[in-house]
Amino acid sequence: MINKAHISKVLDDFGAEVVRQSKLNIGATKTVKGKKRKIDNTGTLRKSLDYQVKVMPNSFSFFIEMEEYGEWVDVGRKPGKGIPQKELMSWIKSKPIRLRDLETGEFLTTTKSRMNSLAFLINRKIREKGIAATNFLSDPFEKAFKDLPEDVIEAFGLDVEHFLKTSLSELNEKYK
């Protein structure tokens, strides 16, 4: 017989640790190709991270909740597909981007036309090269999963890959 209170406590600790580590990863500044990059531009993704655990007599459910785009930030984006123009424009406006004249090096005034051109160029680069994965959620999830007690893993026949995919697919269904 599975001890419901034990399972609930273990999964609650698991969820809290995954979310805590994920939030730390999102807030960290990383160097990518010689440039410092921050994963979470506005703090929205970090604030949206949460988890839910529900333990039933013969099963349990575990969900990680976050903004819809969080999965793409975690796993990256393969070449061939761009980002919706509206979302990209919103991201550009939130960044401190200032355009320069290539010949003089002077800053240019920001116009709608120039921002649209910038968005087009960024999107073209994303379609060509994709976006690298950050694994801000996957890495803490896998690390915490390895620390789950054997009795919990054996009781439910857990597999880390299946567990993570199921949690993320539930997230996708919720936000579609």
Give tens-digit pLDDT for 96-141: 788 999 999 999 998 999 999 999 999 999 999 998 888 999 999 9
Q: Are residues 122 and 37 in the same domain?
A: no
Q: Are residues 87 and 110 in the same domain?
A: yes
Q: Are residues 70 and 140 in the same domain?
A: yes
Q: Which residue has the tokens 């939030």?
A: 23
Q: Are residues 147 and 157 in the same domain?
A: yes
The domain of 173 spans 1-76+133-176
Q: Which residue has the tokens 């273990």?
A: 10
Largest CA distance in the chain: 75
Predicted TM-score (pTM) of this structure: 0.76
Instruction: Calculate mean pLDDT across residues 71-97.
Output: 87
Q: Mean pLDDT check: name the lowest of 14-28, 109-123, 153-167.
A: 153-167
Q: Which two tokens stand for residue 117?
A: 């051109």
Q: Are residues 112 and 165 in the same domain?
A: no
- As for how many domains the chain has, the answer is 2
Q: Are residues 5 and 63 in the same domain?
A: yes
Q: Are residues 92 and 5 in the same domain?
A: no
Q: Are residues 14 and 59 in the same domain?
A: yes
Q: Are residues 10 and 50 in the same domain?
A: yes
The whole-angstrom separation of Cα 165 and Cα 161 is 6
For strands 29-32 and 60-65, give the pairing. unpaired
The whole-angstrom separation of Cα 33 and Cα 51 is 33
Q: Which two tokens stand for residue 3?
A: 């001890």
Q: Could you tell me which residues are beta bridge partners of residue 37?
A: 30
**Phi and psi at residue 4, to the nearest 5°:** -60, -40
pLDDT at residue 155 greater than cutoff 90: no
Q: Which two tokens stand for residue 82?
A: 């761009």
Q: Are residues 63 and 105 in the same domain?
A: no
The whole-angstrom separation of Cα 167 and Cα 74 is 13
Residue 6 — pLDDT band, cuts 50, 70, 90?
A: confident
Q: Are residues 9 and 92 in the same domain?
A: no
Q: Are residues 141 and 111 in the same domain?
A: no
